[in-house]
């Protein structure tokens, strides 16, 4: 099993490692003092099984690092470790399995690995799409955005790829699950990739701003707020 911890404080790293060995004395973690170093190593094989990531890193944002890590290795379990709960909602929207408050204890480590098992057992839903003569099979959680384009749809994926699919907007909307929200005519977004939901603008994590239907803005914001609340409720103890 490949375990990583990313923190700029060596003492905090050693404390987490001590808690890890309290769970299993044979386990040890690869240590990284920056998100950049962690991401570079994440591209190597085999992928990390689990990463304990400090949100507050000098000159870096743990949320941004986790977003890129999720793109590199979708099956890696991410556990945020921090002194604050401020970023909890963003953490959950990234499918963070767990959220530990420092100092990390062995009980916290045990719970993290329990959630890793549950995370791996969760079946990822995929769909097959035809683009010209090519067929693409993608997981729904890889889709950030779907936009109507005449008689086709444009799909933005988490790795930055864009697919143009010959399919009606209504047909592909039926393939989406409860994570997706129509925010305007011909625009569906994956709520897990929303950074901000403003009065008339929805901002994705890559900075892309999308217009919200003004007449339906109250209902759209309520649907997003309910989704976030439900996600938090699924993870009691935070």
Render pLDDT for 153-188 as a digit per residue (tens, 0 to 9). Answer: 999 988 788 999 999 999 999 999 999 999 999 999
What percent of the chain is predicted at pLDDT more than 70?
Answer: 92
For residue 176, give Cα distances in angstroms to 53, 68, 117, 233: 30, 23, 26, 22
Helix H or strand E segment including 170: helix 169-173
What sign results for the dihedral spanned by CA atoms 2, 6, 10, 15? negative
Nearby residues of 230 by Cβ (< 8 Å), 6 or more positions away: none
Query: Closest Cα partner for 20 from 77, 103, 135?
Result: 103
Per-residue confidence band for 68, with pLDDT thresholds at 50, 70 and 90: confident
Structural domains for the chain:
3-121 (3.40.50.2300), 126-234 (2.40.50.1020)
Give CA–CA dist 3/95, Å, rounded.
18
pLDDT of 191 reads: 93
pLDDT of 56 reads: 84
pLDDT in tens, 206-216: 889 999 999 99
Q: Give me 118's structure tokens.
A: 């549950």
pLDDT of 92 reads: 54
pLDDT of 4 reads: 97
Tell me: pLDDT of 105 over 80: yes
Tell me: pLDDT of 86 over 60: yes
DSSP state, residue 47: P
The tally of CA atoms less than 13 A away on the side-chain side of residue 87 is 24
């Amino acid at each position: 099993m490949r375990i990583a911890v990313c923190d700029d404080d060596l003492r905090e790293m050693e404390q987490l490692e001590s808690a890890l060995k309290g769970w299993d004395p044979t386990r040890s973690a690869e240590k990284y003092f920056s998100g950049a170093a962690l991401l570079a190593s994440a591209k190597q094989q085999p992928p990390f099984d689990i990463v304990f990531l400090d949100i507050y890193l000098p000159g870096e944002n743990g949320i941004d690092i986790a977003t890129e890590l999720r793109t590199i290795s979708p099956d890696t379990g991410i556990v945020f470790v921090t002194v604050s709960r401020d970023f909890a909602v963003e953490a959950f929207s990234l499918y963070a399995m767990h959220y530990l408050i420092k100092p990390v204890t062995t009980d916290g480590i045990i719970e993290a690995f329990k959630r890793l098992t549950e995370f791996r057992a969760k079946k990822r839903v995929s769909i097959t799409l035809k683009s010209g003569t090519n067929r693409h099979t993608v997981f729904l959680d890889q889709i950030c955005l779907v936009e109507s384009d005449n008689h086709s749809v444009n799909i933005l994926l988490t790795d930055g790829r864009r697919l143009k699919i010959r399919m009606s907007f209504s047909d592909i909307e039926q393939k989406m699950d409860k994570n997706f929200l129509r925010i305007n005519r011909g625009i569906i977004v994956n709520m897990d990739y929303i950074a901000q939901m403003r009065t008339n603008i929805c901002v994705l994590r890559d900075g892309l701003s999308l217009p919200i239907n003004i007449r339906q803005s109250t209902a759209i914001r309520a649907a997003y707020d309910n989704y976030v609340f439900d996600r938090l409720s699924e993870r009691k103890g935070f």
